[in-house]
Structures are given as structure tokens and as C-alpha cells.
Amino acid sequence: TARVVRASVLVTVEGVAVRVPLSAILPSATAAITFYVASLPTKGALYVVTAAGVRGALVTAAGTALPAGTTVVDFVPGAHEHSTAPGVAYATFAYTARATGGVIDAAPVTVRVEVTPSNDPPTLGVS
């Protein structure tokens, strides 16, 4: 069975996606590992990143097994949304891992994402 390594705290700017590396310790050099999204982000969206580094499918359900070989996901904050204060999480989600033929034996690891506000340009309106 695999052990998930550590929790993460990531910081990004409003409107900017952040790459989230997924990590685990394998029980043997020959074992393959599959990552699972244990809980969806409380805000924003989570996408699979392909081996070629391209953003792929939206993850839509907790418990989703990510495609074989996936070791990175993209977190995308909602449009014009940010943390309520510096150091405060905008969103959290969790993942875990399974080695080939194994069971999920580690507690899910929580990823915390902080989103700092950006200075949005003013917009003109017609009244």
C-alpha cells in the first residue's frame, strides 16, 4: 500500500490557476500508484493535468480515481473570487493514493489554497 506524503498550502492570485503536485511513497519500485480525489474543492474547480502537461478533464465527484500516471492537478479559483484575508484558505480539497493491488491506507491529505486579490481594472457601464 502507498503512503501519502504531506499536506500542502498553495498560494495563487485571483484568476490564476495553480498546479498541485500529488505525492506518495510507493511500497516497492515496481508498484504503480493511482491518486484519488477524496473531497472536491470547497470553491473553485479541480482539473486533471495530462502527462503532456495539458489541462484535461474537470474532476466532478469525490472518490474519483485520476487517470493512470496522473501526478498533477490544476486548481482554478472562481472568477473574481479570493480569500477573505491574508493567510485564510479560499478553498480546501483532499486526495489519497493506492498502490497497484493495494488499498487506500492513509488518511486523505488536505490541500489548502489561498487566493490573493488582484487589482481588477475598472469597467465602464452604460446607464
Residue 118: count other Cβ atoms within 10 Å of its Cβ: 12
Sign of dihedral through CA atoms 34, 8, 3, 32? positive
For residue 31, the Cα-to-chain-centroid distance in whole angstroms is 23
Query: Each residue of 62-74: pLDDT tens digit?
Result: 999 999 889 899 9
Q: CA 92, CA 115: separation in Å to the nearest integer?
A: 11
Share of the chain above pLDDT 90, in %: 50
Q: CA 28, CA 3: separation in Å to the nearest integer?
A: 12
Angle, CA of 78, 83 and 86, to the nearest 5°: 150
Residue recorded with cell 486548481: 75
Query: Each residue of 18-62: pLDDT tens digit?
Result: 999 998 876 666 677 889 999 999 999 999 999 899 999 999 999
> Alpha carbon of 11 to those of 28, 72, 84, 112: distances in Å?
33, 16, 13, 9
* Helix and strand element counts for the chain (H, E): 0, 11
Element (H, E) at 110: strand 109-116
